[in-house]
Structure 1
């Protein structure tokens, strides 16, 4: 803002008007600016903008109106699996792989520490084709490597890529004691742009495991997915990362460090299950998060997931329901029978619980802590999720039923109905819930659940259900249907 001229006693000339003075100052400033631009010596400037700056920016940030490239939907043939195994344990782990591997359909390789012994030859088509891991002793950082077996594991990424498979969008890496739900994997990976860098997986269930390594790391036992361009990029950098981080003694952490150096962060998918747990994990599987079930790891460190079977039989039994309706597998549905004050919690294809009182969904979605943490003396907080303590209170303890059988039939309208049957594991051994109006469920020995095939989890929404039973019949029927407005509130 221009200030008026200050008059003095010696000033005889009439002062310029205020507007004229401001105009003169402005003209002088503009003149000096042009003088500076055209006459200033450019050779004295230390930094100049590159002449192709705007062209570079245009190439880096294309116009928003440019058309997106379209490609057909991702299918199983777009995925290559890299499985880490060992000849010392292959005999015991083989059933876990063969339950999900599909001959002439799935693509991938089992990487072993040494060639198979004669008892495993000829190699069957029911298992992935095997490869023997490369000798990595030539690496510069080899003498400093703390855990040689972990370097072998992480380099399986590089060796899987070097197989040179064509038309690949995703690489999925896992261990030989991991069961994968490949159809659900396809549905999940289809959500992501395979032409961009993606590192998709999940951390551990236990706080200590994540604290020891990284909360931003995909645990490799659970499995993780790398998009093709990211796999190509990390394949050129991996040996350098091993030499840079020879003190890292866990392969998953080494990979995460390498990817972080490339500027890539983990995208979490809750359906990958590391299972850093011990004991009975039925409480966890009976309250699965609302996301597709993708994997199950550490099967040899937990109890069989069905109490009347061994581990291998249990996994084969679970896959019976997966083959019929993979999207719905382990998805929790909660509904109520108001006349009896009963709450039903169904983990489809796995278990069913009846509670003799009305319990809100917010509580039933927390897993019952039937399991123990990976480290027995770990301090609380133990888990990455909230749990419920098992209880001997008859109003809080469930009647537990496990998946028994599945069959399909058509209705008059030609719609396919899937019926799963769940049988009581054992008598609860508690008196009935004493709350007013509640009824005992001791006489129920089976639960039948009827549903339409889910097709895709994200498309089906939240299920509600109707419960049908007669007091003198030992089977309760649960019929899935769409929820009505306001019904999902307990």
Structure 2
């Protein structure tokens, strides 16, 4: 009997010996252990335990660099710029008059004129930078046969300016060193506008190449900033250059000029040229009318070779012509020589304004894309009339005698500080114009043009765009009235008969 019973019984499972309550306790312990291990792993990266509020705050509050403070850095101003002006004792008496047109000692400007030797014209003037004498460079080799050893002296002005500043109280505020020649004129407010775009703590080498394609291609480089047009070097880069420049100069004894030696050293430092089209070398001869009347949509920073080109305004000496342009610059430097295009549909004229400089009227319709192209009022540096030798598009002054522009030059400029409105007057430049059989009225009947415009110092904080102009009604004979304003979003410049 016992044997039969044993055969009929099924194997006993382990679950029979565990009660339902014991089973629940076991599962709870396993779940707790899993949760605990996950909890500890999640906080293994936190070096110490914080309250939930402190943890959330530590994750949300941004990291602040030590010593940075909460005060935003001051914008770059003229007081942060130091100028190094290359000059010669032979020409300084004459060319210092150019420097006087733009130097602003009352504006906190700093810098020095560097001469090769003392002269009788070295008298201290409150209207000029201080005079410094360059150190001797006779130990350096110079192997360019047709060049001048003064290139070595001039290229070291950057380094000597850094040494001049070293350890002085004013060095703390220096952000940029700007180089130029004694016949370079700077529009300093625009210079500051350009420099504000860049981080002065980084290595920057800012300028522009020549207008001459042959100069850039054969003699120098499209990657070089020309010293006559001026260039800016951030102060940290200037200090790095000072440490290696003399050794660098020795390696390039076969180069011609000072600016290509700077360029060679920049290449060794690995710093490329940052192009700003407002720096103008002006390697041209003749009149700047064709270039300045269609200036690129960027602030004009400098002009050079004033002793080579014709006076900016005709029938006056070069220095007086620059002074006249500075009248407009004081009223609205940001808009100086910026182009506007509009059409007189009644007379079928095209009107082009280079604000603060000229107004031109052309008999017939000329599309905007053509009016943006410089006219050939000049020849390039090698005195060839082959306009494939310049580094930009050009067009003839006129395609027919009837299209020859009537040019009006700025004669007076006034500003109303309360409203910000400027009024510039332009008088017609008297010159012979060919007869025209077209049935279109002759613009020569206009003798005076008034342009009304509000100053716009912040125009370069936005995307570049030409201003628009509109003709205003007037009953005055021989007078044209024009208003220049920012274009509306959907406004276009196109001729229409309607």
CA contact (8 A) 2:342 2:350 kept: yes
C-alpha separation in 1, matches of 2:99 and 2:177: 17
- Which residue of the partner structure matches residue 102 of structure 1? 104
Which of 72, 76, 79 is the aligned partner of 1:77? 79
C-alpha separation in 2, matches of 1:439 and 1:66: 70
CA contact (8 A) 2:203 2:236 kept: yes
Shift of 1:488: 2.2
Matched, 1:285 2:292: yes
CA contact (8 A) 1:280 1:371 kept: yes
CA contact (8 A) 1:448 1:478 kept: yes
C-alpha separation in 1, matches of 2:215 and 2:400: 33
- Which residue of the partner structure matches residue 351 of structure 2? 344
Which of 216, 220, 236 is the aligned partner of 1:210? 216
TM-score by length of 1: 0.81
CA contact (8 A) 2:122 2:131 kept: no
Could you give the per-residue CA deviations for residues 221-254 of structure 1, whole angstroms, max 9, x where no partner exists?
0000000111011111110111111111211111
CA contact (8 A) 1:356 1:394 kept: no
Aligned residues: 417
- Which residue of the partner structure matches residue 142 of structure 1? 141
The DSSP-based 3-state class of the residue aligned with 1:442 is: helix
- Which residue of the partner structure matches residue 334 of structure 1? 341
- Which residue of the partner structure matches residue 25 of structure 2? none
User: Gaps spanning 5+ residues in structure 1: where?
Assistant: 1-64
CA contact (8 A) 1:292 1:457 kept: no
The DSSP-based 3-state class of the residue aligned with 2:132 is: strand
The DSSP-based 3-state class of the residue aligned with 2:400 is: coil
Which of 424, 435, 439 is the aligned partner of 1:431? 435
C-alpha separation in 2, matches of 1:409 and 1:340: 32
- Which residue of the partner structure matches residue 454 of structure 1? 456
Shift of 1:323: 1.1
Structure 1 residues 252, 66: closer, same or farther in 2, change over 3 A?
Answer: farther
Structure 1 residues 313, 132: closer, same or farther in 2, change over 3 A?
Answer: same
TM-score by length of 2: 0.80
The DSSP-based 3-state class of the residue aligned with 2:445 is: coil
Shift of 1:470: 4.6
The DSSP-based 3-state class of the residue aligned with 1:261 is: helix
Structure of greater Rg: 2
RMSD: 2.0
Which of 265, 268, 281 is the aligned partner of 2:272? 265
Which of 356, 363, 368 is the aligned partner of 2:370? 363
Structure 1 residues 284, 121: closer, same or farther in 2, change over 3 A?
Answer: closer
Could you give the per-residue CA deviations for residues 364-389 of structure 1, whole angstroms, max 9, x where no partner exists?
11111010111024755111111111
Structure 1 residues 385, 208: closer, same or farther in 2, change over 3 A?
Answer: same
Could you give the per-residue CA deviations for residues 422-472 of structure 1, whole angstroms, max 9, x where no partner exists?
00001452335726xx43222100110000011133147431121024576
C-alpha separation in 1, matches of 2:141 and 2:244: 16
Structure 1 residues 479, 378: closer, same or farther in 2, change over 3 A?
Answer: closer
CA contact (8 A) 2:229 2:304 kept: yes
The DSSP-based 3-state class of the residue aligned with 1:345 is: strand
CA contact (8 A) 1:444 1:474 kept: yes
Shift of 1:484: 2.9
- Which residue of the partner structure matches residue 238 of structure 2? 231
Shift of 1:116: 2.3
- Which residue of the partner structure matches residue 383 of structure 1? 390
Could you give the per-residue CA deviations for residues 50-102 of structure 1, whole angstroms, max 9, x where no partner exists?
xxxxxxxxxxxxxxx86696521000000000000011001110110011111
Alignment of 1:155-174 (within 5 A): 155-164=156-165, 165-166=170-171, 167-174=173-180
- Which residue of the partner structure matches residue 487 of structure 1? 491
Which of 471, 474, 498 is the aligned partner of 1:467? 471
The DSSP-based 3-state class of the residue aligned with 2:346 is: helix
Shift of 1:180: 0.5
User: Gaps spanning 5+ residues in structure 2: where?
Assistant: 1-61
Structure 1 residues 309, 380: closer, same or farther in 2, change over 3 A?
Answer: closer
